[in-house]
Amino acid sequence: MWTVFSASAIGKRNLEQGAAGQDASHCVVTDDVLVAIVCDGAGSVREGRTGSQFIARMLAEQLSSTLQAERNLPEVQAEGCARLETTIRSAIEAVRTRLADLAAAHQLTLHDFSCTLLGCVASPGGGCFFHIGDGFAIQQSAAGDSVLSLPENGEYADETYFVTDENWKDHLRLTPLLAPERGCVIGLMSDGTAPFAVNRARSGFFRPFIDPIAAYLRKATAPNGNEALRNLLESPRACEISADDKTLLLALVL
Amino acid sequence: MNTVIPDVALIDNSDERAPLVLVLDCSGSMQEENKIQLLNEGLKALAVDLKADPIAARCGRVLVISFGGDSNVEIMGDWTDAMDFAPPELRAGGLTPLGAAMRCALDEVESQKSQMRTAGVSYKRPIIMLLSDGEATDEWRQVAAECKSAETAHKVNIMAIGIGDEANKETLGLFSNKGALSLSGLKFKELFIWLSRSIRAVSRAPSGGTVQLNPVDSWAKLST
């Protein structure tokens, strides 16, 4: 059911300092259940890159296997995503604990691994976005309707919230999806990608950006599609718009 | 297969908005000396000059509130991006409910800010420009105090401007911590061009900083 593409580009700011990219993404699809995660590691901490890679991979795998074991398929529910929420919260809790153990083994703390969390669980019946901090998640239906999870920033523009924060539960936000149908596009992106991928009203994708990409990806093989996305994110024009690391994960229902 | 995706538009959609509320006196006295007509022409000059600057056209958000006329205080249409701003045709008549008009402006600024926050759009400190040629005919002192404290709390920047000799500069001056200025002659057009240039400067300023606006000598009467 799902065709997934993703790419990350290191932003100018990190390139100039010889630093590695702080973004990470991971995706697991099992029996039509999509679990996709994008994380953005904080540039200001020691191990932001390790944190984002660890959380993206471990959480996607943990959530996917829990959902399979519980047979807790994401479905459209009148009450929103209450049933999924418990599963998502305990998966985050478990992965945070493992990251805290890893940190302790290196005489570090969770704070040294600070990263944001942007995730999506979706199956033919529905699903939800789950989100801590900045970045955007967008579901665009074939008819053009959009469901969004918007960034949550602190008081100042460069302050955000992290899954590694003590009070992460206060900032975890869940957004129910529309039942994914043929032609729908789900996108998860870090804040470096948002200025050109999201429209001015922040109500959906910027259509002149996403439509040509979706049309191209519908016909692309995975390696080609991923490479094409990376070329786009690394293009001089994209780098001119944002100096941040850029990640874009797109899941299409063909 | 080629790994460059054709025809993808890469445009920066993330500009911070610069909200501007114009609170304009349309009371009966604005009919004298062709003032209302000059005000309308000034608004048109503002629209043209904002649209001539690509950044101001994208970042500026404009709302016009008129007071006087038949319905006392009227919000003339919705908030619009400067690139879509079509100035209303103002008519003069009626009283001068200055207090109610400024109350409306403060409320509009806060609700616009909250809408932008909800949508994840960031914004600069909004500007309210008040233009009046007369004496307030409603209860205005409480609102004036609220305007000053909103300014002190950095919620808004207020410019109070008197038109002609009949304008009560003392009253107007109590709406802003900077006091009031006087329009020199009837230089509406110069005033609105200056305002447009100020919005241009604000649109380009880094967030959180203060913006040095152009000197006001093109339109302000500096004596008095």
Nearest chain A residue to B4 by CA distance is A228
Confidence category of residue B3, pLDDT binned at 50, 70, 90: confident
Mean pLDDT of A177-181: 92
Q: ipTM of the assembly?
A: 0.89
Partner B contacted by A9 (CB < 8 A) = no
Which residues of B fall within a CB distance of 8 Å from A237?
Answer: 10
* pLDDT at residue number A234: 95
Contact B9 A208 (CB under 8 A): yes
With respect to residue B121, please indicate whether it lies within any of the assigned structural domains. Answer: yes
Burial class (CB in 10 A: 0-12, 13-18, 19+), A18: exposed
Give me the domains of chain A, ranges plus CATH numbers.
Answer: 2-253 (3.60.40.10)
For B169, the domain range is 28-204+217-221
Nearest to A201 among B6, B119, B207 (CB): B119
With respect to residue B6, please indicate whether it lies within any of the assigned structural domains. Answer: no
Q: Per-residue pLDDT for A218 more than 90?
A: yes
**Based on the structure, what is the number of domains in chain B?**
1
Which residue has 């460059």 as its token pair?
B4
* pLDDT at residue number A240: 84
Contact A195 B13 (CB under 8 A): yes
B144 to chain A, minimum CA–CA distance in Å?
28
Nearest to B7 among A150, A212, A224 (CB): A212
Contact A157 B122 (CB under 8 A): yes
Q: Which helix (H) or strand (E) holds B24?
A: strand B18-26
How many of the other CB atoms lie within 10 Å of CB of A14?
Answer: 18
* CATH label of the domain that carries residue B50: 3.40.50.410
- pLDDT tens, position by position, B167-182: 999 999 999 999 999 9
Among A161, A193, A202, A205, the residue to mutate for chain B (most B Cβ within 10 A):
A202
Contact B13 A203 (CB under 8 A): no
With respect to residue B210, please indicate whether it lies within any of the assigned structural domains. Answer: no
Q: Per-residue pLDDT for A78 more than 50?
A: no
In this structure, chain A runs to a length of 254
Nearest to B8 among A202, A213, A221 (CB): A213
CA distance A127 to A76: 7
